[in-house]
Chain A
Amino acid sequence: MFEALSEKLGSIFKKLKGRGLLREEDLTAALKEIKIALLEADVNFKVVKDFIERVKARAIGKEVIESITPGHQVVKIVHDELCSLMGGEDNLSLSQRKIHLSPNPPTVIMLVGLHGSGKTTTAAKLAKGFKKDGRRPLLVAIDTARPAAIEQLISLGSQINVPVYGTKAGDSPVRVCSDAIKKAHSEGWDVVILDTAGRLHIDEELMKELDDVKAAANPKEILLVADAMTGQDAVNIAKSFNDRLNIGGVILTKMDGDARGGAALSIVAATGKPIKFIGVGEKIDLLEPFHPERMASRILEMGDIVSLVEKAQEAIGMEDAIKLQKKLKEDRFTFEDLKDQIKQIKKMGSLENLFGMIPGLGKHISRSVGTVDEKEFIKIEAIINSMTKKERESYAIINGSRKRRIALGSGTTVADVNRLIKQYLEMKKMLRMFKGGKGPGLNKFKFPDLNFFRGRS
């Protein structure tokens, strides 16, 4: 929908290439584009304004590195600045991103937020996480306002085998909490997660209710659950909840969509509190730690360029990406290449990153590729390693007896081999659409199902 920021900046800086230092007048047009990009990403206007000033101050006088364009370099500065604002590793230790546990159990965690931000689902995800860590969580449903909210939590609780303390609609939230905590004490539940009702930050009566719950439950952590799609109001929402309750952090939900998530920056700027986790799916185990760098790339919708700059600086990876791009265009993608790619992926952390490196490809793919289970790579590598050179070059010769041999050699099954071949073909088919860089299918492009990487359990 919007022209990529990198392309716009590229043309702005064209005449500037390789020329001495960045000056203010060189930057004006670029900063305007960056401003629009951030606004399109829903970063709050005031936050954007301050941010642009910071970038300007940092960029003026910077030497233009020969190997990359000034546009890319400015983007890198913007990216770094975004990272540090959202609590880059240097600003915020990892322990600050974790959930604080109380020395005297139970640790009470209270989730607050607007309607529909995802509190109940997040409560269940947290409980599952704690359970995995060997703790004994208790979920408490104190959303007595929304129809069937308590049933929702009970149903989620039973899916993950975590007890839910809930009462019927209309009960006083404060009483329910106090009773639940007493129960946790006597029965030895060491983490109590309070799922409060959604409320508007401007609803005085309901905000007061949160004060009361806080006073009664004395939570160790109050977490604001916020929707990644939130617009300009994110600042006010976060500020209201923080001023009132002094929250410990934020969980940003629905990050599996394509919202660029500028709200993340607005929230951190407004509260100074860290984003601790992100929600990336409707299944109960999909809560991930927050990575400021990834978020910065996402807000700028340009992970590719930032990675390219970084790679240029580290002088690795680039050539491989170009080689791959060439192969893709010529439709010469073999099993050997797939194996190389897997090696790369291992180095780079994720498939998303790898494809993100290829100009024009990353944006379309990254949203349809999830995280990939590293263990599955070992299996795939083993299968490819068990193929002969000829087989790797032309899959067509792999007949039944060859498949049996490959399966035997790699310690897998013929079904595994078949699956890999099928996925390889799908991948090849879709890559063909990219021939020439702008196939008709580019926009409708769908990445093949990569479930085989995850083992289809």
Chain B
Amino acid sequence: MGLFERLKQGLSKTKKNLVEKAEVLFLGRNVDESLLNELEEVLIMADVGPKASAEIISTLKEKFKKGELSDTVGLKNALKEEIKLAIQDGSGIKITKERPYIILTVGVNGVGKTTTIGKLAWRFKNEGLKVILAAGDTFRAAAIEQLEIWAHRSDTQIIKHKSGADPAAVVYDAIMSAKAKNMDAVIIDTAGRLHTKTNLMDELKKIKRVINREIPSAPHEVLLVVDATSGQNVIHQAKIFGEAIGVTGIALTKLDGTAKGGIVIAIKKELNIPVKLISVGERIEDLRDFNAEEFVGALFG
């Protein structure tokens, strides 16, 4: 199966719930206000969120008033364009010339941080990069063991301390080790934390300070991992993590399971943080760079 086909398959649930629902809605209908209102409901049901949905629909309504949407085919295309516009410049992960390239991974509990890191490490390794994983989740039981298994699978090195150790110290060691061994990238795992816990957010700030002290330009990427099954709370998460440590991109996981990938649209529209990675399956190669064109293509194609 080609990569695009795989993406399409992973997004089939979202497609079914967003695009196909819209298509059924359009059957035998003329474009009018009430059809657009019903379309808004479809968007909300796909977790696009009331605010972003209202914005998209009001743009479509304007186009309709100007006579630009004569039939439902035109409406479907306009919807596709609006969605594409909303999620544009999601760019994927790119490792620049900086060495070692530091990626800090954060997020609330249970979103799939460790799994994402494992998949990312595997990908970098395949691209010929030398990667070190930093087991910065010293809190959750067996989190270190979980990352170790991934390190083994992806044949990458891991720096770990004991459970309960200071995560900033683990990060420090990982950076030192990466510098000494001329490694290309360090991917840092952190404990899941709810964004409302100020002490835990302070811990993240400390980790960032330690990184920053050793490599002034780092972290080069602060990746917020988000569960696609989540609803509007993601907006709060992104906002508060962003304020604390400056999120540079989002990795959206479990997109294959949810019928509601619409949160992609809400995140970009409300916070302007690009989605960089999406996970559309449990296989190690199912973590992909996000590409708006491809995403919309898979959705509407």
Contact = CB atoms under 8 A, between A and B. Distances in A.
Interface of A: 1, 36, 39-42, 44-46, 114-118, 120, 146-149, 151-156, 159, 200-203, 227, 229-234, 236-237, 254, 256-260, 262-263, 282, 367-368, 446
27 contacts: A1-B239, A39-B44, A40-B49, A40-B50, A40-B232, A42-B232, A46-B45, A114-B254, A115-B254, A116-B109, A116-B254, A147-B146, A151-B145, A151-B146, A154-B142, A227-B230, A229-B233, A231-B229, A232-B260, A232-B262, A256-B197, A257-B108, A257-B196, A258-B195, A259-B233, A282-B109, A367-B196
Contacts of A151: 141-142, 145-146
Interface in B233-260: 233-236, 239, 254, 256-260
B141 A231 contact: no
A44 B45 CA distance: 7
Contacts of A258: 194-196, 233, 236
In terms of DSSP, what is the predominant structure of the interface of chain A? loop
B47 interface: yes
Interface string B253-271: 0101111101100000000
A101 B235 CA distance: 40
Contacts of B169: none
Given A45-B41, A232-B44, A117 B110 contact: yes
B101 interface: no
B170 interface: no
B189 interface: no
Given A153-B141, A159-B141, 5 more contacts: A151-B142, A233-B258, A258-B195, A260-B233, A262-B231
Contacts of A446: 198
A148 B227 contact: no
A46 B21 CA distance: 14
Contact of A254 (B50, B109, B239, B262): B109
Interface of B: 13, 41, 44-47, 49-51, 108-112, 118, 139-143, 145-146, 148-150, 163, 194-198, 227, 229-236, 239, 254, 256-260, 262-263
Given A118-B109, A148-B142, A254-B194, A45 B236 contact: no
DSSP class of B's interface residues: helix, strand, loop or mixed?
loop
A281 to B, nearest CB: 9
Contact of B50 (A39, A234, A368): A39
Nearest to B233: A259
A148 B146 contact: yes
Given A230-B230, A231-B229, A256-B196, A115 B110 contact: yes
Contacts of B143: 148, 152
A41 B260 CA distance: 15
Contact of B257 (A42, A201, A367): A201
A290 B49 CA distance: 27
B232 A152 contact: no
A155 B110 contact: no
A1 B229 contact: no
B50 A36 contact: yes
A230 B229 contact: yes
B233 A200 contact: no
A390 B51 CA distance: 55
B259 A233 contact: yes
Contacts of B109: 116, 118, 254, 282
A282 B139 contact: yes
B256 to A, nearest CB: 7
Contacts of B258: 231, 233
Contacts of B50: 36, 39-40
Contacts of B146: 146-149, 151-152
A114 B145 contact: no
A453 to B, nearest CB: 17
A227 B227 contact: yes
B235 A1 contact: yes
A146 to B, nearest CB: 7
Contact of A148 (B139, B145, B194): B145
Given A36-B50, A254-B194, A257-B194, A229 B257 contact: no
Given A231-B263, A257-B195, A258-B195, A152 B231 contact: no
Given A147-B146, A446-B198, A229 B230 contact: yes
Contacts of B254: 114-116, 200
B260 A231 contact: yes
